[in-house]
A = this chain, B = another copy of it.
Amino acid sequence: MSPFLAVIARDVRLALRQGGGSYWTLLFFVLTVTLFPLGVGPDLALLARIGPGVLWVVALLAAMLSLDRMFQADYEDGSLELLALAPLPLELTVLAKAAAHWLTTGLPVTLLAPALGFLLAVDVTAYPILIAAMLLGTPVLSLVGSIGAALTVGVRRGGVLLSLLVIPLYVPALIFGALAVEATLDGLSPRPHLLLLGADLLVALALTPWAAAAALRLNLE
């Protein structure tokens, strides 16, 4: 197995084994979404209107909740030093870890989105675009989040700081993602929003590994 794949496989296996890390995320996603009918009341028209937005916000929060898993444990047990010395460039290691994070949060959340959209009475016609938007947007959450996770890796339990750093960087993905679904529901074309999401993803892919690797290096001093 190539080192890149080995890192992905290791992180995915760790997420699945340790205290059900990724199940927490999914449970959180389901719970928070189902909370809205309880908190907002059973008005289906209302739920349908807020549905796409709620799904996006909760997906974002779910990704953020699990971000500190990305580097913190490796930092604290000394694995990060070894990863930084491994022949695999640290930028690729970051990419592999972001991929593992996405596989255990963004992907399951995307797959679950239609089911939860159903609970929120979101119109079925919007599902293909919802899934497409999430497939483009959730990797951005993992990639951009890797910068925040890397910056706060030396700060023990920097959860609040991490979210403070990351939320502003998440805003474009959130806006375009939600707008794509809304446009579809309003009978407009979601294309421009999806293209912008795609551009966001490309920028994130190109830049975040460098930024996160630089942040990790400075925390290894």
A interface residues, Cβ below 8 angstroms from B: 17-21, 23-25, 27-28, 31-32, 34-36, 38-41, 46, 49-50, 52-54, 56-57, 60-61, 64-66, 68-69, 72-73, 76, 152, 155-164, 167-168, 170-171, 174-175, 178, 182
Contact = CB atoms under 8 A, between A and B. Distances in A.
Protomer copies: 2
A49 B46 contact: yes
A159 B39 contact: no
Contact of A178 (B25, B28, B41): B41
A36 B20 contact: no
A14 to B, nearest CB: 9
Given A35-B57, A49-B46, A163 B23 contact: yes
Contact of A46 (B18, B35, B50): B50
Residue picked from A25, A31, A72, A174, most chain B C-beta under 10 Å: A31
10 contacts: A18-B157, A20-B159, A21-B159, A23-B160, A24-B161, A36-B50, A38-B171, A41-B53, A61-B61, A72-B157
Contacts of A38: 53, 57, 171, 174-175, 178
A18 B53 CA distance: 32
A174 B39 contact: yes
